[in-house]
Amino acid sequence: MNKTSLVQCEEQAQEHGGFAFRRKRLAAAAGGKGIGLSWFELSPGKKAFPMHFHLANAEAVFILEGEGILRLGEEEHPLRAGDYVAFSPGPPGHQIANRSDAPLRYLAISTMREPEVAVYPESKKVGVLARGHGIMSVHRRDDAVDYYEGEE
């Protein structure tokens, strides 16, 4: 039997320094499990997330409105309405920024595999996510400990 969900999505806002966005988690609100879909709006001069790449999940973005910049590793590429970009798991890192004077709106799509590891190459951090097990943490790679530390 098919199940269809029509829902109103709550908007979330997040801001920290040069990072700020408004987001609606469309797939989650409709009960989606295997694929994520979110609507994003970036204000002028803001970035969505730090440069990163995933080890388990593929991502894609579809630009709805406005102009932005895709940082892909060391390269920069312009983004505008109608552009679609897919990111396979693994490097290079990617980041979307809005350097224009108008909002940038896009859809972000991702597989929802867990456990997930996100790598932040510029800040030398690693994030671990397994929500089903209550794990969501970010660590500096330089703070690594010996495998047997704290063990008897």
The verdict on residue 124 lying in a domain is no
Q: pTM for the whole thing?
A: 0.89
The verdict on residue 98 lying in a domain is yes
The verdict on residue 58 lying in a domain is yes
Question: At 5, is the pLDDT very low, low, confident or very high (cuts 50, 70, 90)?
Answer: low
In angstroms, the CA 79 to CA 6 distance is: 30
Identify any residues that bridge with 76 across adjacent strands, giving them in sequence order. Answer: 71
Can you give the residue range of the structural domain that contains 101? Answer: 11-113
E-only strand ranges, the chain = 11-16, 19-25, 35-42, 53-54, 59-65, 67-72, 75-80, 84-87, 94-97, 104-111, 116-120, 125-130, 135-140
Per the omega criterion (within 30 degrees of 0), is the bond before 91 cis?
Answer: no
Q: Which amino acid is at 59?
A: E
- Residue 74: give its domain's CATH number: 2.60.120.10
The verdict on residue 6 lying in a domain is no
**What is the chain's mean pLDDT, rounded?**
93
Residue 1 has pLDDT above 90, yes or no: no
What total of structural domains would you count in the chain?
Answer: 1
Name which residue leads in pLDDT, 134 or 4.
134
In angstroms, the CA 94 to CA 78 distance is: 13
